[in-house]
Amino acid sequence: MIDALEQISDFVWKIPVDYKPGMRVPGIVYASKELLLKAKEDKAIEQVANVSFLPGIVSASYAAPDIHWGYGFPIGGIAATDYETGVISPGGVGFDINCGVRLLKTELTAKEANRMIEKLMLEIAKNVPKGVGSRGKIRLSRKEMAHLMTEGVRWAVGRGLGWEEDLVYMEEDGRLSGADPDKVSARAYERGLDQVGTLGAGNHFLEIQEVVEIFDRKAAGIFGLFEGQLVIMIHSGSRGVGHQICTDYIKVMDKAVSRLGIELPDRQLGCAPIKSKEGRDYYAAMACAVNYAFVNRHVLAHWVRESFERVLNKSAESLGMNLVYDVCHNIAKIEEHNVGGETKNVCVHRKGATRAFGPGHPLVPVKYRPVGQPVLVPGDMGSASYILVGTERAMQKTFGSTCHGAGRVMSRSQAKKKIRGHELRGELEARGIKVVAGNMGLLAEEAPAAYKDVSQVVEVCHRTGISTKVAKTRPLGVLKG
| pLDDT score, position 470 | 98
Neighbour tally for 117: CB within 10 Å: 18
| pLDDT score, position 11 | 97
Low-confidence winner among 40-49, 281-290, 315-324, 354-363 (lowest mean pLDDT): 40-49
Confidence of residue 31 (pLDDT cuts 50, 70, 90): very high
| pLDDT score, position 21 | 96
- Report the share of the chain in percent with pLDDT over 70: 100
- Please compute, for residue 19, the number of CA atoms within 13 A of its CA located in the half-sphere on the CB side: 26
342-367 as b/e, with b when 16 or more CB fall inside 10 Å?
Answer: eeeebbbbbbbbbbbbbbebeebeee
Q: Is the pLDDT of residue 278 over 80?
A: yes
| pLDDT score, position 380 | 84
Please name the residues in contact with 305: beta carbons below 8 A apart, sequence gap of 6 or more.
104, 316, 321
For the stretch 232-263, pLDDT in tens is: 999 999 999 999 999 999 999 999 999 999 99
| Residues with active-site annotation | 404
User: Is-contact 367 374, C-beta < 8 A?
Assistant: no
| pLDDT score, position 327 | 98
Spatial separation of the C-alpha atoms in residues 17 and 49, rounded to whole Å: 8
The secondary structure element, H or E, covering residue 6 is strand 6-9
Q: Is the pLDDT of residue 192 over 80?
A: yes
Spatial separation of the C-alpha atoms in residues 27 and 33, rounded to whole Å: 16
Q: Is the pLDDT of residue 387 over 90?
A: yes
Q: How confident is the model over 439-453, as a mean pLDDT?
A: 78
Residue type, 80: A
Mean model confidence pLDDT for the chain: 94
Please name the residues in contact with 159: beta carbons below 8 A apart, sequence gap of 6 or more.
none
Neighbour tally for 255: CB within 10 Å: 12
Max CA distance (Å), the chain = 65
- Report the share of the chain in percent with pLDDT over 90: 82
Confidence of residue 422 (pLDDT cuts 50, 70, 90): confident
407 or 82, higher pLDDT:
82
Alpha helices (runs of H) in 375-466, residue ranges in sequence order? 392-397, 412-418, 421-430, 440-445, 454-464
| pLDDT score, position 238 | 96
| pLDDT score, position 121 | 95
User: Is-contact 128 300, C-beta < 8 A?
Assistant: yes
Q: Is the pLDDT of residue 224 over 90?
A: yes
Low-confidence winner among 131-145, 260-274, 348-362, 377-391 (lowest mean pLDDT): 131-145
